[in-house]
Chain A
Amino acid sequence: MKSNACGALLAWLPQARPEQLRRLQVCAQACEGLVVLFRPEAARHEASAAPLRVITSFDLDWAVRVQILKRKGPAHEGTLKLPSVPGGLESVLTPRLRVPSRLIANRERADALGSAAPRQAVRRRLHS
């Protein structure tokens, strides 16, 4: 960060202490690139010097739920739902797979891949 040589910097720091985070924040302010720290969700109740803190979790229907813990300006209530399909999966998704929550909901009644014995289903598909 001090050398300001990178476009973005990602770091996983599960055990960072608040004073260390403060020092990192001072360095990050001088850095032109984006600096992102990933910390466990348990750290949400600890104080942090970061100007923006978000919690992300996944949503069944190809989306990311983002909850803003801290930001500049007034606090933000509620959850943002941002569409997000993992890279590489876009090409294999059929329209039916776009809403997986519906699939799970009616899994008990009828299901194409899961309910019958999957081994046979696989064989059938491979031999056909």
Chain B
Amino acid sequence: MHWAALLLDKPSGADSTHDDELRGLATWALQWTPRVSVVDAAVVMEVEASLRLFGGRLALRERLRSESEELGVAIVAWAPTSLAALAFARAGEEDGFAGPLSEGLDALPMDVLTAVGPHRPTLARLGCRTLGDLRRLPRGGVARRFDKALLDALDQAYGLKPEVHCWETIPETFSARLELMSRVEHAPALLFAARRLLLQMCGWLASRHAGTTAFTLKWAHDTMRSKSAGPGGELTIRTGEATRSLDHFARLLGEHLGKTQLLAPAGELTLLVDHEEPLEERSASLLPDTVRQGETLREVLERIAARVGPANVVRPVLTEDHRIEWAQCWQPSAHKSPRGTGSIAMPQPTWLLPEPLALAVRGHRPLYQGTLQMLAGPHRVEGGWWDRAGEGGREATRRVQRDYWVALSEHAGVLWIFRERTAGDDTAWYLHGIFG
């Protein structure tokens, strides 16, 4: 058995805040192992079966220590039993595996076991200071003079008696609350505290093998607010694809908070997961492959869109239309990219003018920076009577009747020009695109 005990920073507080933090910590811990329990204001977890999954004992210890530090955990202690791990954590020692368990425990002060608490004055008068002293007392006498819980706790800590735990379960919905240390007046400063909640959320998502596409950060204004400020505010963050990358969440939240104005100082944060989806993870490969550093393109685009507005990050999309103006459109990049449509066999220019440019004509020939040399054509594009644009009375069909030509100009390069066929006898030539 390989137990870890996680002790929070402020052990004395038995109020609701402390309870919330313990609950959050337990939820976060469930990503490492299903055997997590809350015992005596600390979280204990059994990770024997998870050692290999997370790359061995040392790697797991290192990860646990660095990640739990962000959640406000003061110390992570390891031992073969949960009570022993807790005892080591309270005594400020990390590694209960350094020597034989009984030797290590014997040296600890007896306060580290919660069961000692009620009998502490009596035991102190008996001359007991350490667990070793307590263990040397005659068992029969201890059992008669003190209660059964003391002997049980002692035996369980030393591994002589099996422990019974009430295991934590993964909550169906995620909601975490955090009371801020001080009143926060600027929205970007909320990110630091929100990161702790995000970490819990990622733990919850990991234990459910899920990712999220939408989560909400709510903040409550403190009681000294002005009446107009209202009770608080909230911010919903959406991502294009389900993910549980902490860094990505933090970056997105940072971008959004950077644009948010707090109406009053905030005193409390709540984080909710609005929508979760199952997430398939890539398994680690045997061979070291070229690990991508930094964000993926999708994450980058989402972050840029959060900064400059979703309408300003667009991607081109082909649509089924033979009229060049409507054969493509620009969509916000957050939309799913549709499957590509078949290409048109006609020559298509690299650059398209926003509006066709009317060309001068001399002797039935269009001019653009000199006489044009026709190379290929005509390619006829016709139709569009079904496509109506405009409102009410000014409605007009976007019908086109054009003969396209590929023309060469000595100065301007290869051009795409067309002749409007509805112009009657007046030949109307337009420049529509330029070949790159």
Contacts and interface: CB of A to CB of B under 8 A. Distances in A.
Given A97-B376, A114-B365, A125-B378, 7 more contacts: A3-B300, A60-B410, A88-B348, A89-B414, A92-B347, A114-B372, A126-B378
Nearest to B293: A4
Interface in A78-128: 86-89, 91-93, 97, 100, 103-104, 107, 113-114, 117-119, 122, 125-126
A49 interface: no
B408 A100 contact: yes
Contacts of A58: 413-414
Given A6-B297, A58-B413, A118 B373 contact: no
B374 interface: yes
Contacts of B380: 126
Interface of B: 292-297, 299-300, 345-350, 364-365, 371-376, 378, 380, 403, 406, 408, 410, 413-414, 419, 427, 435-436
Contact of B294 (A2, A93, A119, A125): A2
A87 B350 contact: yes
Nearest to B376: A92
A26 to B, nearest CB: 16
B295 A5 contact: yes
Contacts of A126: 378, 380
B378 A122 contact: yes
Contacts of B347: 86, 88-89, 91-92
A5 B294 contact: yes
A97 B374 CA distance: 10
A3 B295 CA distance: 6
Given A89-B435, A92-B376, A122-B419, A4 B410 contact: no
Given A3-B295, A86-B435, A119-B364, A114 B406 contact: no
A106 to B, nearest CB: 11
Given A3-B295, A114-B373, A122-B378, A86 B436 contact: yes
Interface of A: 2-6, 58, 60, 86-89, 91-93, 97, 100, 103-104, 107, 113-114, 117-119, 122, 125-126
A86 B350 contact: yes
A5 B296 contact: yes
A11 B145 CA distance: 83
Interface hub of A5, A6, A104 (most chain B Cβ within 10 A): A5
B407 to A, nearest CB: 9
Interface SS of A by simple majority: loop
Nearest to A32: B293
Contacts of B294: 2-5
A117 B413 CA distance: 23
A44 to B, nearest CB: 19
Interface hub of A113, A118, A125 (most chain B Cβ within 10 A): A118
B408 A60 contact: yes
Nearest to B363: A117
Contacts of A104: 373, 408, 410
A19 B92 CA distance: 54
21 contacts: A2-B294, A3-B294, A3-B295, A3-B299, A5-B295, A86-B350, A86-B436, A89-B347, A89-B376, A97-B375, A100-B373, A103-B373, A104-B410, A107-B373, A114-B371, A114-B373, A114-B374, A117-B364, A118-B374, A122-B378, A126-B378
A92 B419 CA distance: 19
Sort A-B residue pairs by CB-CB distance and give the 9 closest, nearest first: A86-B435, A5-B297, A3-B294, A113-B374, A3-B295, A92-B376, A58-B413, A88-B347, A3-B300
A29 to B, nearest CB: 15
A97 B414 CA distance: 12
A91 B344 CA distance: 12
A17 B300 CA distance: 25
Nearest to A126: B378
B384 to A, nearest CB: 20
Contacts of A125: 378
Contacts of B296: 5
Contacts of B371: 107, 114
B345 to A, nearest CB: 7
B374 A5 contact: no
A100 B299 CA distance: 47
Contacts of B410: 60, 104
Contacts of B378: 122, 125-126
A3 B292 CA distance: 10
Contacts of A5: 294-297, 299-300
B297 A89 contact: no
Nearest to B413: A58
A93 B293 CA distance: 46
Interface hub of A3, A92, A107 (most chain B Cβ within 10 A): A3
